[in-house]
Amino acid sequence: MVYYVKNGKLPESRHTFEKKDELRREELVGEESFEGAYSLLYHLYEPTNSTGYRIVKLKEEKYADAPHVHRHLRTGMLKRDGNLINGRKTILMNSRVKVQVLIPENSTDDFYRNALHEILIFVHNGSGKFTCPMGSIKFSKGDYIYVPKGIAFRMEYTEDAYFLFLLSLDTLKIPPRYLNSYGQLKEGTPYYTRDIRPPEFFPPEKKSGKYVMHVEFDTYYVVQEFEKSPLDVEGWDGYLFPFAISTDAMAPIVGKLHMPPPIHETMSSKSMMVATFLPRKFDFHPRSIPISYYHNNVDVDEFLFYSSGNFMSRKGIQPGSVTLHVRGLTHGPQPGATENAIGKEGTDEVAVMIETYDPLLLTETGAGIDQEGYMKSWYA
Ligand SMILES: [Fe+2]
């Protein structure tokens, strides 16, 4: 839920019509049954009127037969493959969260909708356009795109496109502590309401053709075909819609002493917290140690996707690297990193962190890009 947006042509009151011979087909897209955030979409055509459907089983995503220890996964080793529908690779998962990487080889005009998961896409490389029935959002490197569950969309992108997909069974929200009682982002938060980019509305498509929508239910797709474009919305309003935020627009919070990850929180669900490490000045105590201390977070696993900049606390980390630091095993700076950090004034890093409350486990795909011996990288 963000704020109220209204676009295009709408009847004066909800659930009414203007002209009987020009009926619009009203669709409510909402969370928590009819109680949560929702939007009302006015289609030219009936959104249920598909010409057919088929079930396509998806390749099973298997957990690796591997212990739950610290890992370094090199997503850059994954080959360009497929597209939004068939190219996403799950590298880590649990019953509520999936971490996927999409390094697409091609694009498709087909629509994708996830029936179960909210999606937070991070654009690691490339640029393009996200399109859904509510409008389109131009994106570029360093953007997040939030997609509420149940929203159909497609993506066009440049040849160097490279995305991180975070999927959450539980609703992703702007942290409630960031919002005032009106739903406005408060002063002092890392981003402001103005930084949120809702879809830019475009007139409804009236042409006929063959339109395909792949609706994902984890282990299979329901593939629906339509003669009329799903982009047939004449107007919509409400509080539930996809949006983008640029990490360039975000303002990191810094302090006299080292700030823990929750200070960099971006969005969260009941099953995970997403935080963003941004280019920032380091702590200003004259004897501050500007990188993290050793920590043993007993209730979370800690995932980091390194996007750009100089990652000074870890050796061997490249853009596209993922580290997983698990509960129960202390982690922190590698030998020499603390000494090297002292006196440094800032960082240019951009990294996406998630903390999951259930263990985040390696998949077979993740095991294929795992750096052997990462656990020993702390040995002097
Ligand atoms: Fe950590």
Inter-residue contact 291 to 341 (CB < 8 Å): yes
Instruction: Dump pLDDT digits (tens) for 97-130.
Output: 999 999 999 999 999 999 999 999 999 999 999 9
- Whether 170 and 283 map to the same domain: the answer is no
Q: For residue 297, how far is its CA from the centre of ligand 1 (angstroms)?
A: 8
**Residue 103 falls inside a structural domain:** yes
Residue 266 resides in a domain: yes
CA of residue 357 to ligand 1 center, whole Å: 14
Residues 289 and 164 in one domain: no
Q: Are residues 261 and 172 in the same domain?
A: no
Distance CA 340, CA 25 (A): 62
Q: What is the pLDDT of residue 343?
A: 93
Distance from the alpha carbon of residue 176 to the mean position of ligand 1, in angstroms: 24
246-286 pLDDT per residue, tens: 999 999 999 999 999 999 999 999 999 999 999 999 999 99
Residue 256 lies in a domain: yes
Calculate how far, in angstroms, residue 171's C-alpha sits from the geometric centre of ligand 1. Answer: 25
Is residue 232 one of the residues assigned to a domain? no
CA of 332 to the centre of ligand 1 (A): 6
Q: Do 147 and 279 belong to one domain? A: no
Q: How far does the centroid of ligand 1 lie from the alpha carbon of residue 178, in Å?
A: 23
- What is the per-residue pLDDT for 1? 60
Distance of CA 321 from the midpoint of ligand 1 (Å): 15
Check whether residue 195 and residue 257 sit in a common domain. no
For residue 164, how far is its CA from the centre of ligand 1 (angstroms)?
A: 20
Does 159 share its domain with 97?
A: yes
Q: How confident is the model at residue 312 (pLDDT cuts 50, 70, 90)?
A: low
* Domain assignment present for 156: yes
pLDDT in tens, 336-349: 999 999 999 999 99
Reported as a pLDDT band with limits 50, 70 and 90, residue 214 is very high
* Alpha carbon of 326 to ligand 1 centroid (Å): 9
pLDDT for the residue 270: 97
pLDDT at position 15, please?
96
Q: How confident is the model at residue 90 (pLDDT cuts 50, 70, 90)?
A: very high
Q: Is residue 127 part of a domain?
A: yes
Ordered strands of the 220-228 beta sheet: 50-57, 220-228, 208-216, 111-114
Span from the CA of 261 to the centroid of ligand 1 (angstroms): 8
Tell me, rounded to whole angstroms, the distance of Cα 354 from its chain centroid.
Answer: 11
Same domain, 150 and 264: no
Task: Kindly state the average pLDDT of the residues 236-246.
Answer: 98
Q: Which of 186, 214, 247 is the last residue of a domain?
A: 247
Is there a single domain that holds both residue 254 and residue 345?
yes
Q: At residue 313, does pLDDT exceed 70?
A: no
193 and 263 fall within a common domain = no
Task: State how far the alpha carbon of 19 is from the alpha carbons of 11, 14, 16, 43, 48, in Å.
Answer: 10, 14, 10, 14, 21
pLDDT tens digits, residue range 351-373? 999 999 999 999 999 999 999 99
Predicted local confidence at residue 368, as pLDDT: 98
The tens digit of pLDDT for each residue in 68-77 reads 999 999 999 9
Ligand 1 centroid–CA 59 distance in Å is: 33
Out of 184, 216, 247, pick the residue that ends a domain. Answer: 247
Residue 165 backbone class (left: φ over 0; alpha: ψ -120 to 50; beta: rest): beta
Q: How many angstroms is it from 199 CA to the middle of ligand 1?
A: 35
List all residues 6 or more positions away from 316 whose beta carbon is below 8 Å from its beta carbon: 72, 371, 377
Q: How many domains does the chain have?
A: 2
Residues 261 and 197 in one domain: no
- Express each pLDDT in 154-164 by its tens digit: 999 999 999 99
Query: Which CATH number goes with the domain that contains 299?
Result: 2.60.120.10
Using the mean position of ligand 1's atoms as its centre, give its distance from the Cα of residue 288 in Å. Answer: 18
Which residues span the domain enclosing 146?
51-61+79-203+242-247
Q: Is there a single domain that holds both residue 56 and residue 173?
A: yes
Does residue 67 lie within any of the structural domains?
A: no
Q: Which residue has the tokens 């079930």?
A: 55
Q: Is residue 138 within 8 Å of residue 174, measured between CB atoms? A: no
